[in-house]
Amino acid sequence: MKLYCGTEHYCKFLNSRQQRGEKISAYIQRLERLLQRAVMRGAVTAEQMDQTRLAQVVRGTQYQNPILLHLRLRERQEHPPSYSQLIKEVREEEERQAASKCWEAQTLEPASTMPLPMASPPQSRPDACSLLEPLTPVLPSSQSV
């Protein structure tokens, strides 16, 4: 029965996925509770925790998550960070990306919320011939001099 309980917790851990809208840090915290139960029940050794945790974070995180890519977690599976180091790095990256999004949103907003004045409707313009008519009598006299 003890083996069954440990295996059950380990299966829950392995089947856990990041939920839509869930931050990676929240997902890692949720995973950690499941992993701790699996360790207490003997399904995973304490020495395997960091590697097991990181492998599941990579596997269970939503596809092409920018935090996963930026922290290069896939490449770090041979030498995984501890839980405290992983959660620290992920939270810092979440904060950096949130600040970046906030800055982008501010720079994309118009400088003023005042509506732009409407352009006046086009007025009828005199054609070029009517503008030249007053000049026509002047031209012959200036050419004769």
Which pLDDT belongs to residue 71? 86
In Å, the largest CA–CA distance within the chain is: 121
d(CA 39, CA 120): 75
* Pairwise pLDDT comparison (122 vs 21), residue with the higher score: 21
CA-closest candidate to residue 77, choices 44, 52, 94, 60: 52
Q: First and final CA of the chain: distance in angstroms?
A: 121
At 142, is the secondary structure helix, strand, or coil?
helix
Which pLDDT belongs to residue 1? 40
Residue 21 CB partners (closer than 8 Å, separation 6+): none
| DSSP one-letter string for 106-135 | HHHS-S--SPPPPPPPPPPPPPHHHHHGGG
The first and second tokens of residue 58, run together, are 């990579």
* Pairwise pLDDT comparison (138 vs 48), residue with the higher score: 48
Give the pLDDT confidence of 98-136 residue by residue, as tens digits.
888 777 777 766 555 555 555 555 555 556 556 556 555
CA-closest candidate to residue 30, choices 11, 15, 16, 45: 16
The first and second tokens of residue 144, run together, are 């004769």
- The torsion angles phi and psi of 26, rounded to 5 degrees, stand at -65, -40
Which pLDDT belongs to residue 111? 55
Give the pLDDT confidence of 65-100 residue by residue, as tens digits.
888 788 888 889 889 999 999 999 999 999 998 888
